[in-house]
Structure 1
């Protein structure tokens, strides 16, 4: 039986562990320094979108989309996923022109999921939208899911597949052994495995540095707002074009507002802090796009720490200095939707050394080329 260790108990670590444990001949242990879903995986906006993806991510996102639509078969739970659509709104003629160019660019690559819609169709989709909005870009079968419910569903499925989840275990070292395995030093004693996955999110760069790899990656602390319950007025998840916004109304009527507004983060302390001036800006954008939101009370807010690469797309693939170590991090605020497919890809790379899933654009070698 081959042994594998996955470092990081976020959604990408859980997905990788699940897929590998379902591969015959593998015994999988997952190590998490705190507890499963502690950071961005459990507190993000839950967006399940292909809309607006970096062109390099579209193919993997398309695979992930199929997996989301079949989520009960994968983890025994639909994870609260609802395919109510995603809409990016255009407030100006310049916004519309950029959207038309984007639609043409995506279609030139053979993808047809992004659709430019006019003012009338946008108002059919979003009756409460402000009159000044001119149109939008739509992906009709995208949607949103419940982040923590998703984390817990992947945890249950992983454990059912035989994954041993060890919480409260911090990794302190990685090194090759004379036997060709990898020794994983921790504050609870050593582990040894033929394959290791670095899915440590905002702390993954530090793990890569343990084996002498300097992979450019910073951190971010995206903030979220939840309002009081409101009458039903919005089904799709909404994003802005020229102004940062992520906006959705939950099944209970509350409204979740984000859009990449950043708080203060401290990776060393594993904490993030909400900046209320920036939150006020997010709330103002929401109320200008949806006048019904004016005067809505904010019930709570938070921020979660996550990894961000210079080009905003992830690092996926085998280490260049320690064979058998595989990286999967740097999803830069939009890894939730990708997680089922990304985990499958890393598991295949670990088990077979190759995958047919479209992860070639995410090699760390692109940073060497840029240098």
Structure 2
């Protein structure tokens, strides 16, 4: 039986482990320094969207959307997925033009999931939205899900497939034996494997650097706000074409507000903190677009650490320095929806060295090519 080690117990590590174990013939172990879902996987906004993605990752996102629709069959739970649509609002003529150009670009490539809607349709879907909104783009089958419920569903499914999850184990580096077997150095001693997946989130580029592979990322600490319960007024997840906004109302009436507003982080200590001025900015944008929340009390806020690449799309593919090592990180604040498909792609790469899934443009080689140029 072949041996595989997955570094990182977030959603991408768990998804990779699950899909690899289900292929058969593999002993799969997940190594997690804290506990599964500790960082970005468990504290993100829960957006399940194809809407507005970088064109390089749309193909993977379309596959992931089909998997979200079938998540109970894949992991035995729907993760709290609510497919009520994702909407990107246009607040000006310039926003309308921007969204129309975007729709033309995706339609030219054969993707028709993004749809322009006029002001009347926006008001039908979002009767509480501000009157200044001019129109929007929508993907009707997108939505949101519960991040930690999704993490736990992938964990259970992985364990049922035979994956061993080891928590509280720190990975210090990756190397090879004289015969080419991969060795993961941990605080419990070395562990050998035929294949290794680096799914270590904000810490993954450091592991790559340890073998001489430069994959640039920086850490980000996006913040979230939750309001008190309000009367129900919003089913879709809402963003803006021109402003940083992620807005959704939960099934219990609370409103979750984000949009990538940043706090501070320290990856050395694995801690992050909130920036009150940026939190206030997030709340102000939300209130300007949905006046109903202007007087709502904020009952909770948080932040978490995640990795962002310079081009803000993930790194998925085999190491250019160490054969048998595969990277899956740098999802830059929008990896939640991709996790079922990305895990399947990485597992296929690990098992057979190639995949038909559309991840070639996400390869770590793109950074080496830029460095050479």
Q: TM-score, normalised by structure 1?
A: 0.99
**2: CA distance, partners of 1:135 / 1:179:** 61
**2: CA distance, partners of 1:153 / 1:60:** 21
Q: 1:316 corresponds to which residue?
A: 316
Do residues 221 (structure 1) and 227 (structure 2) align?
A: no
Q: CA deviation at 1:365?
A: 1.7
**2: CA distance, partners of 1:205 / 1:251:** 37
Moved over 4 A (4+): none
Q: 1:293 corresponds to which residue?
A: 293
Q: Work out whether residues 214 and 368 of structure 2, in 8 Å CA contact, stay in contact via their aligned partners in 1.
A: no
Deviations 1:100-124 (A, max 9, x none): 1111111001000000110001111
Q: CA deviation at 1:209?
A: 1.2
Say which SS state the counterpart of residue 175 (structure 2) adopts: strand
**1: CA distance, partners of 2:138 / 2:211:** 43
Q: 1:18 corresponds to which residue?
A: 18
Q: Work out whether residues 172 and 185 of structure 2, in 8 Å CA contact, stay in contact via their aligned partners in 1.
A: yes
Do residues 130 (structure 1) and 122 (structure 2) align?
A: no
Q: 1:197 corresponds to which residue?
A: 197
Q: 2:188 corresponds to which residue?
A: 188
Q: 2:4 corresponds to which residue?
A: 4
Q: 1:211 corresponds to which residue?
A: 211
Q: Work out whether residues 198 and 325 of structure 2, in 8 Å CA contact, stay in contact via their aligned partners in 1.
A: yes
Say which SS state the counterpart of residue 88 (structure 2) adopts: strand
Q: CA deviation at 1:197?
A: 0.2
Q: CA deviation at 1:214?
A: 1.2
Say which SS state the counterpart of residue 190 (structure 1) adopts: strand
Q: Work out whether residues 214 and 367 of structure 2, in 8 Å CA contact, stay in contact via their aligned partners in 1.
A: no
Gaps of 5+ in 1: none
**1: CA distance, partners of 2:173 / 2:94:** 51
Q: CA deviation at 1:178?
A: 2.1
Say which SS state the counterpart of residue 121 (structure 1) adopts: helix
Q: Work out whether residues 226 and 300 of structure 2, in 8 Å CA contact, stay in contact via their aligned partners in 1.
A: yes
Deviations 1:40-59 (A, max 9, x none): 10000000000000011100
* Length, aligned pairs only: 371
Q: 1:52 corresponds to which residue?
A: 52
**2: CA distance, partners of 1:180 / 1:105:** 45
Q: CA deviation at 1:321?
A: 1.3
**2: CA distance, partners of 1:286 / 1:173:** 43
Gaps of 5+ in 2: none
Say which SS state the counterpart of residue 183 (structure 2) adopts: strand
**1: CA distance, partners of 2:30 / 2:340:** 16
Q: 1:246 corresponds to which residue?
A: 246
Q: 2:255 corresponds to which residue?
A: 255
Coordinate RMSD, CA, aligned: 0.7
Deviations 1:234-266 (A, max 9, x none): 000000111110000000000000001011011
Q: CA deviation at 1:370?
A: 2.6
**1: CA distance, partners of 2:207 / 2:117:** 45
**1: CA distance, partners of 2:110 / 2:294:** 41
Q: 2:112 corresponds to which residue?
A: 112
Q: CA deviation at 1:369?
A: 2.7
Say which SS state the counterpart of residue 304 (structure 2) adopts: strand
Deviations 1:284-307 (A, max 9, x none): 010010011111000010011000
Q: 1:347 corresponds to which residue?
A: 347
Q: CA deviation at 1:181?
A: 1.1
Q: 2:361 corresponds to which residue?
A: 361
**2: CA distance, partners of 1:294 / 1:183:** 54
**1: CA distance, partners of 2:180 / 2:363:** 24
Q: CA deviation at 1:173?
A: 2.1
Q: TM-score, normalised by structure 2?
A: 0.99
Q: Work out whether residues 4 and 193 of structure 2, in 8 Å CA contact, stay in contact via their aligned partners in 1.
A: yes
Deviations 1:251-282 (A, max 9, x none): 00000000010110110010110101100000
